Amino acid sequence: MRNHPATPAGQPASPSGGTPVPDEATEAPDAGRSAPVVAARGITKRFPGVVANSRVEFEVLPGEIHALLGENGAGKTTLCNVLTGLYRPEEGHVELDGAPCRFRSPRDAHEAGIFMVHQHFRLVRPLTVAENMILGWARGSRGMWFSPRRVEREVARVAEQFGMPIDPRAKIWQLSVGEQQRVEILKALYRRARILILDEPTTVLTPQEVKQLFTTLREMAAAGTSVVFISHKLPEVLAVSDRVTVLRAGKAVGTLRTADTDARSLARLMVGRDIVLTRREEAAKNHLGEIVLGLQDVSATGDLGTPALIGVSLGVRAGEILGVAGVAGNGQRELAEVVAGERPVTSGTVTIAGQRQRGAPWEAIDAGLGYVPEERMGVGIAPGMTIADNLILKSYREDGHGPILHAKQALQNAAESIERFDIIARGPKTLARELSGGNIQRLLLARELSGHPKVLVAASPTRGLDVAATDSVRRLLAQTASRGVGVLLISEDLDEILDLSDRIAVMYRGRVAGVVDRDDADKDRIGLLMAGVES
């Protein structure tokens, strides 16, 4: 448990969570506390048709971990982009050590010791880990005397120091999503961040990695480094932060001491109502249909040419949710890609609705596969295309006649999908990159479910989503299974796996370490399987 600074809260809820939280809670002033190391004073930032931040007040004290909460689109990332010089506000200013400052670019913020690890990675995929560390950072190359081997040794040392092992010579494209997140965090640590802003840092980390990250953050804070922790995972916020500020609709609605609040109260501040995450009632086994997705002794290699899947055999029945748990990098990504026809098998067979697959994505789609990949931007959707265009990416051959697309019909269908799946956007012509994370995920699900799939593969479907968006996606997955679709749910969120799955398969080093019925599942047993201790 952290020692929380003596910063009085505005109107904390009772520990039991039974006392309603007001719509806004403000923090009482405390003249005796330390001056903030960085602060936002009356920040207002507008985009066409949107006020992302409205007169936001936010400050971070030296050596504290300050959580920033809010729904997708509440303005958290925009505020931090202002703090790091990526955006310039229309009103207000940023203070550093009590003095007003103006960052002309992120480089100025970096020189001041402010770094941000973004939710969507800022890495150059063809370059190595070490090359990404010093890219655009003059002090890292020491002028013209750049030594790749020296940088690799320094990166390895920092990685070992903070318990985040990584191969400095590995290319970014060869790394898993979790490893890429690790590189982003290490890049800031390597550059000696004084103020570190983490945007959803745990979404692709395992429970063990999250625990190690929290240990690292506490050590950094104890040494005087300030941390801004953006997260949608309320238990993590309560576990690691000293204070928490909640944004809603672009406004700061409360700053509280973490010790004086709870998850229910914070969720209510975030969305204005109580949220209880959807749990799926267990499907009656005698109501499940035939096997709609089958894998028999499937093996496949990873990007580095080493075995990624070894003799995997699984079956998903119609109306069933089969959850796949495991530490990141144990074959879950390759499993999803094999089923989707994106990665060839070296041996074994994959069948979808009784049709044997030969490793072609279009063949899997035609057989009845819906696929939500773990990487939404660029893989799941085309960011530069409109909502309407993204929705017909897999169905234009059916909706059009030959090479001619019916634009009017596509726009009409998109408008219906926006309403049906509660996608918050200006309209069908809105570019996908302008959507929040939760709305991008709803767009993906709208496209995949509109094709009436027999099988849905959902890889990390709620990663990075706020509590309301998470519940929306969970509800869609449960409803999809109840309509007779077989769902393969791949997630590193054990609570999500336990809440939604009928059976749970655990991956360990490319193999299925065990399959557990929901009635027999608990975190301890799943954890042992994930560690390869029990089979």
488-510 mean pLDDT: 90
Which two tokens mark 173?
Answer: 């494209």
State residue 486 phi and psi, 5-degree precision: -80, 125
Identify the pLDDT of residue 276: 67
Read off the pLDDT of residues 57-97 as tens digits, 9 standing for 90 and up.
Answer: 999 999 999 999 887 778 888 999 999 999 999 999 999 99
The CATH architecture of the domain made up of 1-113+193-275 is 3-Layer(aba) Sandwich (3.40)
Identify the pLDDT of residue 150: 87
Identify the pLDDT of residue 15: 31
pLDDT for residue 399 is more than 60? no
Residue showing tokens 């499907």: 283
- Give all strands (DSSP E) within 61-132, no chain letters: 65-69, 91-96, 99-101, 114-117
**What band does 239 get if pLDDT is binned at 50, 70 and 90?**
very high
Identify the pLDDT of residue 404: 53
Residue 410: which H helix or E strand, with range?
Answer: helix 407-420
CA distances from 276 to 263, 412, 499, 521 (A): 11, 34, 12, 21
320-327 mean pLDDT: 91
pLDDT for residue 4 is more than 60? no
Residue 50: which H helix or E strand, with range?
Answer: strand 50-60
Read off the pLDDT of residues 324-343 as tens digits, 9 standing for 90 and up.
Answer: 998 777 899 999 999 999 99
Side chain identity at residue 403, one-letter code: P
282 DSSP 8-state letter: P
Of 110-114, 174-178, 280-284, 402-406, where does the model show the most confidence? 110-114
Buried b (16+ CB within 10 A) or exposed e, 21-49: beeebebeeeeeeeebbbbbbebbbeeee
Identify the pLDDT of residue 190: 86
Identify the pLDDT of residue 303: 85
pLDDT for residue 142 is more than 90? no
pTM equals: 0.65
Identify the pLDDT of residue 122: 82
Identify the pLDDT of residue 205: 65
207-212 mean pLDDT: 73
pLDDT for residue 212 is more than 90? no
Read off the pLDDT of residues 96-109 as tens digits, 9 standing for 90 and up.
Answer: 998 999 898 888 99
Identify the pLDDT of residue 285: 59
142-160 mean pLDDT: 78
CATH 3.40.50.300 in the chain is located at 1-113+193-275, 278-368+492-535
Read off the pLDDT of residues 430-455 as tens digits, 9 standing for 90 and up.
Answer: 998 888 777 888 899 899 988 889 99
CA distances from 371 to 75, 249, 391, 435, 458 (A): 30, 31, 13, 20, 6
Of 10-14, 178-182, 456-460, 516-520, where does the model show the most confidence? 456-460
pLDDT for residue 34 is more than 70? yes
User: Does 492 or 509 have the greater pLDDT score?
Assistant: 509
When mean pLDDT is compared across 192-196, 317-321, 526-530, the lowest value belongs to: 526-530
* Nearest CA among 464, 444, 418, 459 for reference residue 71: 464
User: Does 371 or 49 have the greater pLDDT score?
Assistant: 371
CA distances from 394 to 12, 96, 158, 288, 386 (A): 49, 49, 44, 28, 14
Q: Which residues pair with 254 in a beta bridge?
A: 25, 246
User: Which residues contact residue 369 at a Cβ distance below 8 angstroms, ignoring those fewer than 6 apart?
Assistant: 339, 340, 341, 352, 453, 454, 455, 456, 457
CA distances from 456 to 320, 398, 453, 486, 527 (A): 11, 20, 7, 6, 26
192 DSSP 8-state letter: T
Rounded CA separation 77/504 (Å): 34
pLDDT for residue 12 is more than 50? no
CATH number of 278-368+492-535: 3.40.50.300
When mean pLDDT is compared across 36-45, 195-204, 251-260, 291-300, the lowest value belongs to: 195-204
Identify the pLDDT of residue 22: 39
Chain-centre distance of CA 527, in angstroms? 21
Which two tokens mark 378?
Answer: 């660029």
Identify the pLDDT of residue 26: 46
Side chain identity at residue 381, one-letter code: I
4-15 mean pLDDT: 34
Identify the pLDDT of residue 20: 35
**What band does 398 get if pLDDT is binned at 50, 70 and 90?**
low
User: Does 125 or 9 have the greater pLDDT score?
Assistant: 125
Contacts 24+ apart (CB under 8 A), 130-134: 130/155, 130/168, 130/169, 132/172, 132/183, 132/187, 133/168, 133/183, 133/186, 133/187, 133/190, 133/191
Read off the pLDDT of residues 464-474 as tens digits, 9 standing for 90 and up.
Answer: 777 777 888 89
Of 308-322, 326-340, 427-441, 508-522, where does the model show the most confidence? 308-322
**What band does 180 get if pLDDT is binned at 50, 70 and 90?**
confident
Cβ atoms 502, 282 nearer than 8 A: yes
Direct distance between the N- and C-terminal alpha carbons of the chain, in angstroms, rounded to an integer: 34
Residue showing tokens 């960085």: 38
State residue 254 phi and psi, 5-degree precision: 175, 145
- Return the half-sphere exposure (C-beta side, CA atoms, 13 A cut-off) of residue 52: 23
pLDDT for residue 484 is more than 80? yes
Q: Which residues pair with 99 in a beta bridge?
A: 96
pLDDT for residue 362 is more than 60? yes
